[in-house]
Structure formats: C-alpha cells, structure tokens
Amino acid sequence: MLCRIDELKNKQVVCVKDGYVLGFVSDVQLDTENGKLTAIVIFGRFRVFGLFGREEDIIIPWEEINVIGPETILVSTEPPEYLSEKRKRII
C-alpha cells in the first residue's frame, strides 16, 4: 500500500495494548540521509484552553506501528505518563 505523508496527517492513533486513543497524527519525522520515515508525532494536548502551553508531544517510532488503516493507525507503544494518570482517574 502506498501512502502519502499528507494522508497520514489527522489519522487517529490507537494503542492496541489498552485501546486508548492517543490522539491524531500531527507531524512525521524523516531520516533525510536514508529517505525513511522514522516516527509519527502527536502534538501534546493544550493545558487550560492553551493558556499554559501544551503537554509533551508523543513520538511513536516506526517500529511500534502495527497497522495503518484508512482512518486509524494502531500502535503498540506505552502511552505517556500524563495520559495514564488521567485514564486512572476516569476508571
């Protein structure tokens, strides 16, 4: 399957370990020497309506991507600690 970088943008990223939605693809990292895609980037969520900046970006290495579907990307990465803490409070 061929896919353009533009088509990756805004796809939903889901962790297959627990089904948690990590966010949406905002950017990618490229190795310019080898011409390979090395990671996808999910921008951190805004804190308090963006007044206090954003949380850390989530960088998912290419090796941790399991499936790229038409609307969703499944990954086998651990969610960042700040997402895990929020999730524990909900449960």
pTM of the model: 0.78
pLDDT tens for 29-63 read: 999 999 899 999 998 877 776 567 778 889 999 99
- Per-residue model confidence as pLDDT tens digits over 69-81: 999 999 998 877 7
63 token code pair: 């090796």
Domain boundaries, the chain: 5-90
Query: 40: closest CA among 19, 16, 18, 14?
Result: 14
Note the pLDDT of residue 60.
Answer: 95
Q: Which whole-number Å values give the CA distances from 67 to 14, 27, 32, 70, in the listed order?
A: 10, 18, 24, 10
Structure tokens at 77: 């990465």
Domain 5-90: which topology? SH3 type barrels. (2.30.30)
Q: Does residue 90 carry a pLDDT above 90?
A: no
Q: Three-state SS for 42?
A: strand
Question: What's the token pair of residue 26?
Answer: 């905002």
